[in-house]
Amino acid sequence: MLREILNNLRDLNEDDLHTLNASVVDQIKLLRNRDAAIRRRLFGVGDRVSWTGRGGYTEGTIVRVKRKKAIVDIGAGRNWDVPLGMLSSI
């Protein structure tokens, strides 16, 4: 099915391509928002979490859950803003 769509792109004019692009972007946003909502329900204030980022493996405690990120206390008064998709419960 995807191959057919890609092959048919040549037949679309510029307006059709803009409409298609807007639809694809809307669908991606919908999926990301749904995934973020699911993850918001998985994590709460006080949960111990871990993630692997640029600084390597890190653990901490959630201080606040925002729409798509969590503020995580990693100790020594340092808080990091971590995307919910990177967090794992420990």
pTM (whole model) above 0.75? no
Q: Is CATH 3.30.9.10 the right assignment for the domain spanning 2-89?
A: no
pLDDT in tens, 11-28: 999 999 999 999 999 999
For every residue of the chain, which 3-state class applies, written as one string?
Answer: CHHHHHHHHHHCCHHHHHHHHHHHHHHHHHHHHHHHHHHHHHCCCCCEEEEEECCEEEEEEEEEECCCEEEEEEECCEEEEEEHHHCEEC
Domain extent listing, the chain: 2-89
pLDDT in tens, 38-58: 999 999 999 999 999 888 999
